[in-house]
Amino acid sequence: MSARRTLLEIFDAALRAVDGCRLTTLALQVRPPGRTAVFAIGKAASAMARGAVQALGDDRERLLLISKDGHIDDALRRLSRATCMESAHPVPDERSLAAGAELERQVLDVPAGVTPLFLVSGGSSSLVEQLHAGHTLEELRALNQHGLGAGWDIAMLNARRARLSRLKQGGVARLLAGRAALALFISDVPGDDPRVIGSGLLGPDAGREDRIERRILASIDSAVQAAIEAGRARGLELEAGPRRFAGDVHGVAGEFVGALRATAADGLVWGGESTVTLPARHGRGGRNTHLALCAARMLRAGEPLALLAAGTDGSDGPTADAGALVDAATVERAELAGCDVERARREFDSGLALEMSGDLVHTGPTGTNVGDIVIGLKHSPRAARGRDAVRVL
């Protein structure tokens, strides 16, 4: 089996391990008795909502589902007592304010005797919003655009957002006003802290006790461990990273390639999230395709290494690509197809370069969002000859 196919199978196993539908169904085997109002928000909201619907059956009093464009299951739209709203990501727009207003309205409207259930995953920050008096949508959009382009980490970006928002940092907990609730999280942030996931929509309200039970269903560590086990099932010894990766994408790419060359294992699995600082003029791509292209340029001709870098949510930044799978022949394939690879790297046009080399990975919405994963393998030179674009089914 080629290294490329093996990498895709290992990535698929990692995604299955953190699937929002399955994990939510399992989590709700133990839940408060009686009827439940379901609020699902984030990139994994549709999958988590499916799991809740399966588990709750007739005990579902209502469903409010808010997710990214193209991420809502049509079957959920057809349910009775369900409101499905598509909203903006990664930069909020008018729909984010409308979704935030609807969230506020429905939370306050939950009847007595009905338990609120919140299903929260990454992406929630831009999908639902209500602003403090004196702030504008244009101000919020400018903040998000600047932070994303400047390479701010999630902690800094969330702290800045919270100054404008009345939903962030425990805003939904404040709406509950001490009412008992259950919150289930799929985490894409360091430390898996509910005060950070989704900018803390369901985090504790500072200085006030609440009655919200909070459970983390999955994180990047879950995906990394599943990838290692999938490698073991294929006779491969894969080594986890020493820590969650972070920082500038160029540095992460260099560190990963160096570690892959040095390891005595068959490969590496790292989880985390890098950052990019975008020039004023840039092309198509995200942090994972850029990491993959940077790594491909570091590989020597014929070097028996291959790596996959992808977002577990199935989208890399503002693109429809999950990421890319590269090897020592990637740069040559792109150049033979007419791409100036150095220009693509410099102008953050990695998506175009990797499309021309046939190395993009497409998954569509995956039903989860635990951050990014990078998987590297050592392999024979014969495995580096594939040139077709790859797809996880």
CB atoms within 10 A of CB 34: 10
Spell out the domains of the chain, with CATH numbers in brackets. 3-15+221-391 (3.40.1480.10), 20-218 (3.40.50.10180)
What is the pLDDT at residue 383? 38
Q: What tokens were used for 19?
A: 């699937």
Q: Residue 19: what residue type?
A: D
End-to-end CA gap in the chain: 18
267 DSSP β-pair partners: 238, 377
User: φ and ψ at 219, to 5 degrees?
Assistant: -150, 180
> 150 vs 93, 160, 245, 279, 315, CA distance in Å?
20, 13, 18, 9, 20
Q: What is the pTM of this model?
A: 0.91
> 173 vs 154, 159, 215, CA distance in Å?
21, 17, 15
Alpha-carbon distance of 331 to 282, in angstroms, equals: 20
311 DSSP β-pair partners: 372
Instruction: Report which of 78, 76, 65, 67 is spatially closest to residue 37, judged by C-alpha positions.
Output: 65
What is the pLDDT at residue 118? 98
Buried-exposed string 221-230: b where 16+ CB fall within 10 A, e elsewhere = bbbbebbbeb
User: φ and ψ at 67, to 5 degrees?
Assistant: -150, 180
Residue 94 falls in which region: left (phi positive, over 0), alpha (psi -120 to 50) or beta: alpha
HSE at residue 35, side-chain half, CA atoms within 13 A, is 12
Strands (E), 1-107: 36-41, 60-68, 82-87
HSE at residue 272, side-chain half, CA atoms within 13 A, is 19
For the chain, state the CA radius of gyration.
21
Alpha-carbon distance of 72 to 144, in angstroms, equals: 24
What is the pLDDT at residue 88? 92
Angle between helices 20-27 and 45-56 (to 10 degrees): 40
Strands 36-41 and 323-327 come out as: unpaired
- Residue written as token pair 């399955």: 22
Q: Contact at 8 Å (CB) between 188 and 121?
A: yes
CB atoms within 10 A of CB 77: 12
Alpha-carbon distance of 61 to 220, in angstroms, equals: 32
In the chain, how long is the greatest CA-to-CA distance? Answer: 67
Give, for all 393 residues of the chain, the pLDDT tens digit. Answer: 689 999 999 999 999 999 999 999 999 998 878 999 999 999 999 999 999 999 999 999 999 999 999 999 999 999 999 999 999 988 899 999 999 999 999 999 999 999 999 999 988 888 999 998 889 888 888 888 888 777 777 777 777 877 888 898 899 999 999 999 999 999 999 999 999 998 899 999 777 789 999 999 999 999 999 999 999 999 999 999 999 999 999 999 999 999 999 999 999 999 999 998 877 788 888 999 999 999 999 999 999 999 999 999 999 988 899 999 999 999 999 999 999 999 999 999 999 999 999 999 999 999 999 999 999 999 753 333 344 444 554
Q: What tokens were used for 164?
A: 């404008």
What is the pLDDT at residue 391? 52
> 131 vs 135, 153, 157, 223, 294, CA distance in Å?
6, 22, 16, 35, 39
Q: Contact at 8 Å (CB) between 195 and 347?
A: no
Residue 200 falls in which region: left (phi positive, over 0), alpha (psi -120 to 50) or beta: left
